[in-house]
Every structure is written in structure tokens, then in C-alpha cells.
Amino acid sequence: MAQPAPVALLEIENLSIEFGGKRVVDDISLSINAGEKVGLVGESGSGKSVTALAVLRLLDVATYHGTIRFGGDSILAQSERWMRGVRGRDIAMIFQEPMTALDPLYTIGSQIGEVLEVHEGLRSYAARARSIDLLRRTGIPEPERRVDAFPHQLSGGQRQRAMIAMALACRPKLLIADEPTTALDATVQAQILALLDDLQREFGMAILFITHDLALVRRFTHRVGVMEHGKLVESGPTETVFTQPQHPYTIRLLNSRAERQVAPLNPAAATVLEARDVGVTFHRSEGWFRQSIFNAVAGVSLVLRAGETVGIVGESGSGKTTLGMALLGLQPVAAGDVLIDGQSMSGANRERLRKFRRRIQVVFQDPFASLNPRMTIGQILEEGLAWHMPQLTPTELRQRVLGALAEVGLGASGLEDILERYPHQFSGGQRQRIAIARAIVIEPEILVLDEPTSALDVSVQKQVLALLTTLQRRHHMSYIFISHDLSVIRAVAHRMIVMKDGVVVEQGDCETVLRDPQMPYTRTLLKAVLYAGELENTSLGQM
């Protein structure tokens, strides 16, 4: 006699979610069995995170249609009191950005302990002991000390581990991981995935893994669902969906990985920027009257030629962004020198710095944070142009701004309307294009790009990289491209520099370094990327 099929731990049937009459999730059905890892992928705005929040019923102003059942109980029919008993105990969630998910006013230990006191009735001393054990289990060093640390005193990877410790405190049956590794370096990302793997097997819990990173889903999950514009357009076993995709959107996502499009460099290309033994130091407080000196960058030298892209890679804290700020003249140099077209930036007066900064511009990681929310797009682009080219008339300023927006792909229609709109009225990819337009509108020779694609979906990332390649060829610009994503560096860079603890550990031709790394740290970075399935065709592929 055939055994009845096991009842799914989580069942979502014909779920639709509306906000103010606007449907953001449209008639989706999804199930997760006990101990199963299911991925949910899609670009920003596809509805995947809203679906996850609906499982915990955290969308106060939403209107629901359909059913959500957990362990056979209808979540949408239960009282709020019942839901409070489920949240954190039976269903836990890891959020994308732990710095905003953790309360900055309370220590890590007190936040983990609160979960244990509420759901398991532990006294404070017992909750503290269990918190220390959880921090130890998640790989945080010195947990007896870190338990009393505030969120800002931990690194990004440590904060994410603390979030995992909090989520697993009551050994939930279902863990919802919403983009848990998006903001992390490759090595930390690999560690977090391995940790979740180990804990999932130990606790036997199910995981709903939400991400826009297809390589991570393929590495981590048993089944996957693909969402587009609120609809579940395809689902099935992960390997089947990846090797035999049926829906055009799934095929487009799988084809969105950045491809190498690096034009050969002219051997006679002139040097446009040079760093000579650059050092950057910071003073750190160590008590009431003591300070120590922290060497963020030490003895770094590099050469950038006309039309060349030099990639700078390394983990958080490696000094790559600090070096970029030093090259821009936005961070004082404690040692060494930076030269642009053979001219030293050291000791430059206001007028000389103004000339230097017209020749070297920057595009930051988060365009929403780097664009003034109180200024229109027209004002943002005209501000720098008016400062560097005061001879231009208002009409000429406007025409240059329109031209820059057209170059970055925002000139199809309605340009005048775009100039009057504010940053929040654009998507993430559009905001990054605006940030690039702001940089190129003054016609610089050099762009410093600090993680310009890390916050973008894979398809938008590919579009932005293609745009940067086109602009470089059209205007013969040189790029310093800072990233922790080796697949992105491989797609754009002629040469690459690997940094660790403020020093250069390896540098050379990009393809050569990735194919045959010489230094242990570079090999460690590559192993981490290979673990996540994001980089292929290196000598480490068989390791």
C-alpha cells in the first residue's frame, strides 16, 4: 500500500498581495518540506521579499488573497498573539542588512538573549550563556567578549553571524534567509553559506533562501522558484531549472553573467595616474587618553595608463576603498605621492585641486546615498559642471547635462521631465546611470569606480558594465575599478591588484592572476568564489 505524501511544512497557495489596490504578488503557489532548501530568485521588485514577509505576516497595510499554511495551520487566519509565538520560535528570518536589522542601542548578547527569554522562558544569566554558545557555534571569535559588543563594533560578516545566531536561538523549523550574503565579501560569503549548510543539517530545519544571485542558488538549494513582476514564472529542481530553463525570463537571467569585453591596450599608452609608495594612517582611540596609529594603506604603488582599467580587489578592511579615496585626493596621504599626468597632488592649493578633480571623478557603490535627495537630477548634474566650467551659459549647461544622460541610456524620451525628478523616483540601475552621468559630464580622464555594481541585480549589473565599457572606448577614459567581486573584475580589467591588510599581495595581468595565482591569499579568494560557483576556468577549478 502506497504511503501518503508528507504534508509540506510551508504551503503557499494562490497567494496575491496588494498595497493600496496595487498587486505586487500575483497568484503564486509554493511549498517547502521539512529539511528542504528552496531558493526564490528574481530581480528587485519581483515580489520575493514581500512573499517572505507575508509568511511572517509582517506586512501591516497589505491585503492578502489565497492561503499560507505552516504545519497545517492557516497563518492568515490566526491571531496576532499566535503569530508572536511563531515568529522567532518556529519561523525565523535573517535579513539582508544586519546593521539596520539589529538595534544599535543594545548589545548583541542582549538581543539574542531577548529571543530566548521570550520564547523559552530562560533567566537572563542562562540566556547570556546560551548566547555565548550560539556566537561560538556561528564562528564569531572571542564570543565571551563579543557578546557585550554593540552592532557597530562588529564587522559585516560578524554582524551577519550574530543575526544567524539570533535566528537559530530557538532551533526554528523554517529559516527565511533574505539576501543573507549580498553585502559580504566572497570569503565571508562562502563561510556563511557553509555555516548555514552545517546548521541546516544539524537542526534539520527547512530554509527559504531569497536572493538575486543565481550562482548561490545553484550551489545551495534543492529546488528553486523564479519570480518576475510578482508572478512565479518557473519552478522545479534547481539543477533542472539551471540546465533546462523553460521561461524566457529565466533564460535571460541565466544569460546575465558579465562577460569579458576588454579591448587590447595600446602598448605605447601614456601613464595618466601613478601612486608611489602611498600610505594612509588613522588614529584610533584606546581609552580615555591613549591613541594608536592604524596603517590602512602601506606602501602601495600602481600605474594607470590611458584607456586602461586596473581592478583592485580584496575583502572589507583590505584598504582598497581607502586607497581609492587617496587617489582622488579625498583622503590625506601620510606617505608617498599621487601623480596625475606627472603632476603631484601633494600640497596642491585649492585651484590646483580643482583642476585635478576635473580630470579624476568617482562613482560610488550606493547611488541612492551619493545623490542628494533634495536636489533634482538636473541640479545634481549641473552643480559639478558649473563649478568646473563656470564659463558655460545656463543653456550650454542644460545641453551638456542632456547629452550626458543620453550617453548613459536615459535619453530615449522625456529628458526634460527626467531633469525635474528626484533620485527616489528612479530604480537602482537608473540611479547608478545618473551617478555615472554626473561623473562623465565634466569629461574626466580617469574614473574611480568603488563597487559600482555590487548593489545591482545581475541583469542590471551586466548593462552597467557594458555601459562603462562603451564609455571607456568612446572617451578613452581610464578606470580604477574597486570590487570584491572577482567575476566583475574579470569582465572589465586589464590588470588587477590584490590587497590584504593595507598592502598589495599580488598584481599583474588580470587573466594571468585569475588563471594562475601565485600568492596564498589570492588562492583563498578564488577558492571562495569557486565555492559559490561564480567564477570558472581558473587553475583552481579542480581543487
In this predicted structure, what is the pLDDT of residue 415? 59
Give the pLDDT band (50/70/90) at residue 2: very low
Grid coordinates representing 307 are 584607456
DSSP 51-112: HHHHHTT--TT-EEEEEEEETTEEGGGS-HHHHHHHBTTTEEEE-S-HHHHS-TTS-HHHHH
* Mean pLDDT, the chain, whole residue set: 86
- Would you say residue 542 has pLDDT above 50? no
Could you give the CA distance from residue 343 to residue 352 in angstroms, rounded to a whole number?
10
CB of 269 within 8 A of CB of 308?
Answer: yes
Could you give the CA distance from residue 377 to residue 408 in angstroms, rounded to a whole number?
14
Phi and psi at residue 361, to the nearest 5°: -125, 170
Least confident of 99-113, 231-245, 506-520: 99-113
Mean pLDDT of 440-447: 93
Grid coordinates representing 537 are 576556468
- Would you say residue 318 has pLDDT above 70? yes
In this predicted structure, what is the pLDDT of residue 294? 82
Could you give the CA distance from residue 227 to residue 161 in angstroms, rounded to a whole number?
28
Structural Rg of the chain based on CA atoms:
25
**Helix-then-strand count for the chain, H and E:** 22, 20
In this predicted structure, what is the pLDDT of residue 238? 94
* More confident position, 160 or 343: 343
Could you give the CA distance from residue 195 to residue 189 in angstroms, rounded to a whole number?
10
pTM of the predicted structure, to 2 decimals:
0.78
**Listed ranges 5-19, 139-153, 294-308, 518-532; the one with the highest mean pLDDT:** 294-308
Residue type, 45: G
Grid coordinates representing 328 are 582622488
Give the rounded percent of residues in the chain with a pLDDT score beyond 90.
44
- Would you say residue 87 has pLDDT above 80? yes
In this predicted structure, what is the pLDDT of residue 224? 95
Residue type, 124: S
**Helical axes 108-120 vs 156-167, angle rounded to 10°:** 10
At which residue does the C-alpha cell 565571551 appear? Answer: 144
- Would you say residue 543 has pLDDT above 50? no
In this predicted structure, what is the pLDDT of residue 540? 43
Spatial CA neighbour of 93 closest among 61, 122, 55, 62: 55
Give the pLDDT band (50/70/90) at residue 416: low
DSSP 7-35: PPSEEEEEEEEEETTEEEEEEEEEEE-TT
- Would you say residue 186 has pLDDT above 80? no
DSSP 224-236: EEEEETTEEEEEE
Sheet holding 206-211, edge to edge: 91-94, 174-178, 206-211, 37-41, 223-228, 231-237
Could you give the CA distance from residue 225 to residue 28 in angstroms, rounded to a whole number?
10
Give the pLDDT band (50/70/90) at residue 4: very low
The residues with which 482 forms a beta bridge, in sequence order, are 312, 450
Sign for the pseudo-dihedral over CA of 326, 331, 333, 339: positive
Give the pLDDT band (50/70/90) at residue 432: confident
Domains and CATH numbers, the chain: 1-90+173-255 (3.40.50.300), 102-171 (no CATH), 272-367+445-531 (3.40.50.300)
Mean pLDDT of 140-168: 84
Spatial CA neighbour of 313 closest among 500, 158, 155: 500
pLDDT 10s digits, 383-414 = 988 988 889 999 999 999 998 998 888 865 55
pLDDT 10s digits, 35-61 = 999 999 988 778 898 999 999 999 888
Helix (H) / strand (E) element for 162: namely helix 156-167
